[in-house]
Each structure stands twice: as C-alpha cells, then as structure tokens.
Amino acid sequence: MSSVKQIKTWFLIHKWTSLICTAFLLMLCITGLPLIFHEEIEELEGKPHLAKQVPAGTPLAGLDKLAETAQAKYPKKVIRYVYWDEHEPNTTAFSLSDSIDAPPDNFTTVIVDDHTAELLDEPNYQEGFMYVMLQLHVDMFMGIGGKLFLGLMGLLFVAAIVSGIMLYGPIMKRFDFGMIRTQRSTRLKWLDLHNLLGVVTIVWGTVVGLTGVINTASEIVLGLWQIGQLSEMTAPYKNAQPLTGKLSSLNQAVAIARDKAPEMEPSIIAYPGTPFTSKHHYAVFMKGNTPLTKRIIKPALIDAKTGTLTDMRDMPWYVNTLFVSQPLHFGDYGGLPLKIIWALFDIATIVILGSGLYLWFARNKATKAHINRLSKSDTEILTVIAQKENA
C-alpha cells in the first residue's frame, strides 16, 4: 500500500513539475540549438578575419598604443574593459562607455589591430538573430528577474527528471527495457517513446539543467565575489585618496600579471572604477591555456598609479564552478563532435517535452470521455428505475 502511495506521489510531482516548466523548456531547447553552433554559423557566413595574417615575430604595437586608437575614436567616452576574442586573432577589443559607472548595456565596442594599431571594426553586439536567441535563452529580455525565473524552471526540470526515474523503475519491472508497444493505441506508443527518451537523456538533462540553474545565478555569484574576496584584496585602498592624473601603463600591468602567472594569459582587463575592480586598480584576469583551465580565472590587481602588483589570488570555488558550468551547458569543451551530441540530446528533449504535453491532453480527453460514458450509464439506469416505478 505504501508503494502505491509513493508512486502516486511521484506521479503528481512529475505531472506538475513538467507541466509548469514545459513551455519555457521548449523555448530554451529551441533557442539553445543555434547557440550550440554559434561559432560554426558565424564561419558559414563567410566573414574573413578582421586582422591580416602577419609573419611570426612581427612586432606588436602595444596595448597603450591600441588604447590611444580606441580613445581617439571616441574622445568623450571612457574605456572600461579590454578583452581578447580567440576567434579573431591579432586583435584587441576595447569597450567604451559614457562614464566609468554607466549601466552594463551602455557600451561601444572598438576592435583594433594588434600590430598596426589600426581601427578594424565597431561591431554592434546588441542586434541580429544570434543576439535575440541568446537574450531569450538567458533572461527573456527581462534582466536578472528573467534569469532567476528560468533558474526556477531549471530546478523544476531536474525535479521532473528525478520523479520520472522513480516512476520508470516500477514500470520496467513488468516490461522489457526500451519497449514501445506499436500494436496498441497511439497514446501508449507515445508514452513508451516518452519514457524511453527520458531514460536515455537522464544524464544529459541533469547536467544541462543544473548548469543552466548555476548560470542563471551568475550575477549573484559575482556579487558574492565582489563583497567577499574582491573587498579583501582592495581593503588596503579603502581610505586612499581618489585616483587622479594619467594611469600607469597597460603594457606594464599585463607584463606583471604574465610574470606572476607565466602559465596563463590575459583574458580581460577591467579599468579602475568598474564593478570588477577598485577605483585604484587595473584588474587583469588571467586564464589557462587548455580547454579546461582557460575557464579558470585568476585576477591580478595592479595599482593604476604606480603600476605595481598589490594582490593576485585564485578565484573561490563557487566562482570557478560558474565559469566551468557556462561552456559545459552548451557542450563547448570537445569541439564539433560534442556539439553534435549536445544537439541530438537537445532535439530528443524537445520530443520528450512535446510528447509529454500530448500525453497530458490525451489523458484528460480520455478521462472526460470516461466520465461522460459513466454519466450516460447513470442516466439510463435512472430512466429504467423511473419507468418501473411508474408502471
């Protein structure tokens, strides 16, 4: 009796968690497909690399010269971030805003040639098909509220997976694994396919669901790092005089960070006053050079007045968990083969979600038909009884 109650409980959990999150998960799976192959899609567009190929050993112009080019293009704006796109070799990107504390969406990007310091492009990352797909997938154009809502849907998805496993076990005690009853009703065939695909995608669905939930908490995780480790690293400058005059050399800041972490390379530089550093430091975020370690970030704080290193630490475990989860969510660790596997599982999940909706509607329809038949039988019985009483 207890096992029957447990099955009923798991059935209700599976039913309602699935129904609540299905529409949003369908949207996430559909938008996720092109995002898995965003690099390949960009290559198919046939756009050449921005910077020309140069012989090995060609001298670099230097970051300070590149920054001058970017600043000269927009003299009334301020540089907030410097970063490198691994898909655009021999270039450096500068993000400029109207002020150092402008909102995150207030930015203009300038890409400069590393060797000639020539301005190459001013891309607009806030338009186009891939931008719409990304924003729908990340927060549905609703900011942090949309992120947290999708995180909740991800948790419901994981709960639906767990409850599905608990339901599939008792079923397989009576039937062969992977059975599809093709000789029975359409609803039974879809039920068997739904169950089979659900079991096959258990691990993938759990990994993608949990990493998706972690990614939706990115702003919270980075906020914890800011009030925790970053505050500790910048504590000696808490009462320092405001930074004035010309900043120290970007070249020197990167050289110091490279010297301190020779096995790593710069990923992003945050200018003083931006959210990921203090008002007195460049923050040079270093990354590894392997598919896994390049997701592990190590910040170096360089005094933007004296050009000296003041602190460099490994990120806390919860920040590294976030950075590792982001590419894993899209299968961005094993090249094209892994992306294809990710896409196949994504399509299978779309079938699972669609069949789940079909089964729910079909079950409701069958239940209503059964109730109608019972009601009709009751009416016939009452009619016969009434006829007998009147005879």
pLDDT at 236: 94
Lowest mean pLDDT segment, chosen from 31-45, 172-186, 264-278: 172-186
Is residue 18's pLDDT more than 70? yes
Task: Record the tokens describing residue 379, joined without a space.
Answer: 């009416």
Give the max Cα distance, the chain: 112
Give the tens place of pLDDT for each residue, 251-272.
Answer: 999 999 999 999 999 999 999 9
Confidence category of residue 7, pLDDT binned at 50, 70, 90: confident
Buried/exposed code over 330-362 (b: 16+ C-beta within 10 A; e: otherwise):
bbbeeeeeebeebbebbebbbbbbebbeebeeb
pLDDT at 363: 72
Q: How many CB atoms lie within 10 A of CB 112?
A: 27
pLDDT at 153: 95
- Residue range 24-40: mean pLDDT, rounded: 91
pLDDT at 1: 40
- Residue range 350-374: mean pLDDT, rounded: 74
pLDDT at 120: 95
pTM for this model (two decimals): 0.83
Average pLDDT, the chain: 87
How far is 288 from 291, CA to CA, in rounded Å? 8
Cβ contact 341:333 at 8 Å: no
CA atoms within 13 A on the CB side of 50: 24
Confidence category of residue 194, pLDDT binned at 50, 70, 90: confident
Give the tens place of pLDDT for each residue, 133-145.
Answer: 999 999 999 999 9
Cα 225 → chain centroid: 19
